[in-house]
């Protein structure tokens, strides 16, 4: 039973996922991760670990959730600042790590991969697989007008591993066809939905909400593809 509800949470406090909090790891605070961190912090009192070793450039403003006065600052520090400014999260629930991710980095039972390269994505997944208490690994991949979300539950590791490949197998994208804020916000929302559906199923003890392994949306034609 939830004894105290923050005023900003009252309009969704009756949904079955609310109050089922987690420690969460978010890797990568670019177009996906900067929006995801904001949206996830508004769903409840989760403890959030933020990983990124990059700084903010002007080109990031077309896709990422950062302000002009955060130019040249670290992404982890700026994302944490935005969470404190735009949500009611407690400052002691936000932990920042301005470092490169590798397979030995600590990750939570529930982990979000928001990287723009396969090397970091593989490293985070390998780290998650080493966690004996692992629950959920949610991976977002995007281009300017399409995106994919993989929602990996324990026992689906090998199925997901088959989707990984080497960065050298992908041709260099035209720099003006990489990302937009609305695509980043859409994929972040889809990743949060996968997470809250998982929490709702756990709270209700019935898997009645969708947590499909694969979700893809092609925005140009508004086409959706899902695989259980």
**Alpha carbons 116 and 47: distance in angstroms, whole number:** 24
Residues 6+ apart with CB under 8 A from 138: 110, 111, 112, 113, 149, 150, 151, 152, 191, 194, 195
**Alpha carbons 53 and 200: distance in angstroms, whole number:** 33
In the predicted model, what is the mean pLDDT of the chain? Answer: 91
Helix (H, G, I), strand (E, B) or coil at 216: strand
Query: Tokens in use for 37?
Result: 């961190």
User: Which contiguous run of DSSP H or E holds residue 141?
Assistant: strand 136-142
pTM attached to this predicted model: 0.92
Q: What pLDDT does 177 receive?
A: 47
* 14-54 pLDDT per residue, tens: 999 999 999 999 999 999 999 999 999 999 999 999 999 99
Residues 6+ apart with CB under 8 A from 191: 32, 36, 112, 138, 140, 149
Q: What pLDDT does 174 receive?
A: 42
Give 10-residue mean pLDDT values along the chain (228 residues): 72 90 96 97 96 95 94 97 95 95 92 94 96 97 90 97 83 55 92 97 91 92 88
Q: What pLDDT does 171 receive?
A: 56
Residues 6+ apart with CB under 8 A from 130: 103
Domains of the chain (ranges; CATH) run 22-165+173-227 (3.40.50.720)
Q: Which of 49, 34, 166 is nearest to 96 (CA)?
A: 49
* 116-140 pLDDT per residue, tens: 899 999 999 999 999 999 999 999 9
**Alpha carbons 197 and 207: distance in angstroms, whole number:** 9
Q: Which residue has the tokens 């409840």?
A: 44
């Amino acid at each position: 039973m939830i004894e105290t509800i923050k005023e900003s949470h009252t309009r969704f406090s009756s949904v079955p996922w609310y109050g089922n909090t987690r420690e969460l790891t978010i890797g990568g605070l670019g177009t996906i991760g900067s929006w995801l961190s904001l949206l996830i912090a508004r769903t409840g009192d989760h403890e959030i670990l933020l990983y990124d070793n990059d700084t903010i450039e002007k080109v990031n403003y077309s896709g990422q959730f950062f302000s002009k006065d955060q130019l040249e600052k670290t992404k982890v520090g700026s994302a944490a600042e935005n969470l404190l400014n735009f949500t009611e999260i407690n400052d002691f629930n936000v932990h920042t790590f301005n470092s490169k991710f590798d397979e030995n980095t600590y990750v939570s039972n529930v982990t979000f991969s928001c990287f723009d390269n396969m090397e970091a994505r593989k490293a985070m997944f390998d780290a998650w697989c080493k966690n004996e208490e692992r629950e959920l690994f949610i991976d977002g991949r995007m281009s300017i007008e399409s995106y994919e979300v993989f929602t990996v539950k324990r026992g689906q590791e090998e199925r997901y591993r088959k989707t990984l490949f080497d960065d050298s197998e992908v041709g260099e994208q035209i720099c003006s066809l990489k990302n937009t804020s609305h695509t980043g916000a859409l994929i972040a929302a889809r990743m949060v939905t996968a997470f809250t559906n998982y929490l709702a199923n756990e709270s209700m003890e019935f898997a009645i909400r969708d947590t499909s392994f694969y979700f893809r949306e092609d925005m140009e034609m508004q086409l959706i593809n899902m695989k259980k």
